[in-house]
Homo-oligomer: A and B are copies of this chain.
Amino acid sequence: MGLPCLPWALLRLAFCAACLGCAQGGKLLVIPMDGSHWLSMREVVQELSRRGHESVVVAPELSMHIREGPSYTLRTYPVTFSKDRFHELMHNNSQKIFESEPLLKRIFVVIAAMKTFTDMHWSFCSELVYNEELMESLEEAEYDAVLTDPAIPCGAIVAQYLSIPAVYFLRGIPCGLDAEGTQCPNPPSYVPRLATENSDRMTFLERVKNVLYPLPQNAVCLMLFSPFARLASELLQRDLSIVDVLSHGSVWLLRTDFLLEYPKPVMPNMVFIGGINCASNKQLPQEFEAYVNASGEHGVVVFSLGSMVSEIPMAKAMEIAEALGTIPQTVLWRYTGKPPSNLAKNTKLVKWLPQNDLLAHPKARAFITHAGSHGIYEGICNGVPMVLMPLFGDQMDNAKRMESRGAGVILNVLDMTSSDLSKALKTVINDKSYKENIMRLSALHKDRPIDPLNLAVFWVEFVMRHKGAPHLRAAAHDLNWIQYHSLDVIAFLLAIVLTVVLIIVKSCKFCFRKCFGKKGKAKKSTKPKSH
């Protein structure tokens, strides 16, 4: 049973006719985050362009993926950061992941890398907001809205400075800053915290872990984000915390849904657009079509560790190559480094691959992924079981969620042996339950009243049309911690209760003394007389 499609769309069409002033174009300022974050945001900008809106993308002149495009105007601004250092940072961070270090050292290395990364973005940001000419021209352009990824909160600062409503487009912000920015309740008793690998059903000790893990993380976040809060305070001439900066968002478009996340409280201005990056499939380029067709009945395995990691140390690469040679499938491996000498015939190295389109092919049998949210959704959308090799950030949590749903097998990329990988691949390909589970997730994920790209575009347009969405903004933003938790009310009521109890006790004592005290005294005073 299901829904007949045509009348559905026609009914929507009829309702749509009621919408406001159809077909006029708006002006959107886009301040994206680099890397894969931009790649999925670009889809929205492209769709907005098709729908007649004009977008200006503002980015530093140093960038990995932000290039000129036909759907928007790119305005880059000069930065003092060295180009060589930029490329070194981008390259080095991905190399460091594969260095085998003791856990504590590894943690400090990761924190140092994050600090370098956010410091660089902070310097880009201050060079944007203090670029008077650019900022003046942005002010004059009178944009209807700002579209930005607040994981680097520069766009949020600019939006607040220019008094333009902002639409946030993000996977999330660490340390629960997304929850704070929306005033969304986030109970640690069933909402697992970053890097805990907890599910939503925790034992007592897991719940203890869930409360403790955020403490050091919050300290790191404070270090990473407070420079942005200071920049915002300087610029806006008033004291702002990072939560104040983030809370400027009118609508939060979150690249996730409840197939990946566990169900938890949300706020009315949070919109879930998980899978936005895999809503549409294109025809495979000839080269890949040929690979897939030649793979025969065994089909193909798609292997990519994401846009940040395209090379790995040779020893690890050889181990992986050995494992890939043990399966009958053709493996398409995105790899830009020196080819391992033991590469088997079934393994094709490519500098780039159309990941989503390959996974959409019926011959895709498995997906080896670093478990970034984009890759995970491409696996879910297309129903391809996964071998998950999480590297950093939310990837371990993403991987755990897929494993717990029986849709993939996790491997630790540092510790795994060649035979571990071979075994994992054979498991997800040959054990039918993996395919069944990922197909079930895929069916649930796709069964929604409106696809994520159009939903995202709708809300960007909504904010542009109505100059924000104040009716979706919780009044909790105006309460302090004590007020929010009603602690002042509780204290007040307790004080009243205590006062009343005290008065009653005192009155009773007084009455008691009046009634019996005198008698006692009388007795006492009469006693000597009687004697």
Interface residues of A (CB under 8 A from B): 1-13, 15-26, 50-53, 144, 184-185, 187-190, 200-201, 204, 207-208, 211-212, 258-259, 262-269, 279, 443-444, 446-447, 449-451, 453-455, 457-459, 461-462, 464-466, 471-476, 478-479, 483-486, 488-490, 492-493
What is the bound-complex CA distance between A464 and B19, given in angstroms? 30
A207 in complex: contacting residue of B12, B15, B23, B489, CB < 8 Å: B489
Partner of A208 from B53, B269, B489 at Cβ < 8 Å: B489
Contact of A189 among B51, B450, B457, B484 (CB under 8 A): B484
Evaluate whether A464 and B1 lie within 8 angstroms (CB atoms) in the complex, with A12-B9, A475-B200 already known: yes
Contact A51 B20 (CB under 8 A): no
Is A265's CB under 8 angstroms from B184's CB? Answer: yes
For A454, give the chain B residue with the smallest CB separation: B11
Residues of B within 8 A of A51 (CB): 3-4, 7-8
| Contact (Cβ within 8 A) B7 A50 | yes
Which listed residue (B15, B53, B189, B450) contacts A476, Cβ 8 A? B189
Instruction: Report the Cα distance A144→B2, complex, angstroms.
Output: 12
A450 CA / B454 CA spacing, docked (Å): 11
A451 touches B11 (CB 8 A): yes
Whether A2 contacts B18 by the Cβ 8 Å rule is no
Name which residue of chain B comes closest to A279, CB basis: B15
Which residue in B23, B201, B455 is a CB contact (below 8 Å) of A4? B23
The residue that A3 contacts in the complex, of B19, B185, B204, B490, with Cβ under 8 A, is B19
| Smallest Cβ-Cβ distance to A48: which chain B residue | B3
Q: Which residues of B contact A21 (CB under 8 A)?
A: 1-2
Q: Shortest beta-carbon distance, A410 to chain B, in Å?
A: 21
* Contact assessment for A454 and B19 in the assembled complex, using a CB-CB cutoff below 8 Å: no
- CB contact between A5 and one of B8, B22, B493 (< 8 Å): that residue: B22
- B-chain residues with CB within 8 Å of residue A490 when the two chains form the complex: 211
- A478: min CB distance to chain B, Å: 7
Chain B nearest CB, measured from A465 CB (Å): 6
The distance from the CB of A5 to the nearest CB of chain B, in whole angstroms, is 4
Contact between chains at B201 and A478 (CB < 8 Å): yes
Contact between A4 and B52, CB atoms less than 8 A apart:
yes
Residues in B with CB closer than 8 Å to A26 are 1
Do B1 and A264 have beta carbons less than 8 Å apart?
no
Indicate if the CB atoms of B19 and A473 lie closer than 8 Å: no
- Chain B residues with CB below 8 A from A269, complex form: 263
A465 with B1, Cβ < 8 A, contacts A185-B187, A263-B474, A268-B266 known: yes
Complex contacts, A2 vs chain B, CB 8 Å:
19-24, 461, 465
- Once the chains are docked, how many angstroms separate the CA of A19 from the CA of B6? 12
CB A126 to nearest CB in B, in angstroms, measures 32
Residues of B within 8 A of A474 (CB): 190, 200, 262-265
Please list 11 pairs of residues, one from A and one from B, whose beta carbons are closer than 8 Å in the complex, sorted by A's number: A1-B26, A6-B13, A15-B450, A15-B451, A187-B476, A187-B486, A188-B486, A189-B486, A189-B489, A212-B493, A264-B268
Decide: A18 and B461 in contact? CB cutoff 8 A.
no
Closest B residue to A15 by beta carbon equals: B451
Nearest chain B CB to A517's CB is how many angstroms away?
Answer: 37
Contact A25 B1 (CB under 8 A): yes
Q: Which residues of B contact A457 (CB under 8 A)?
A: 3
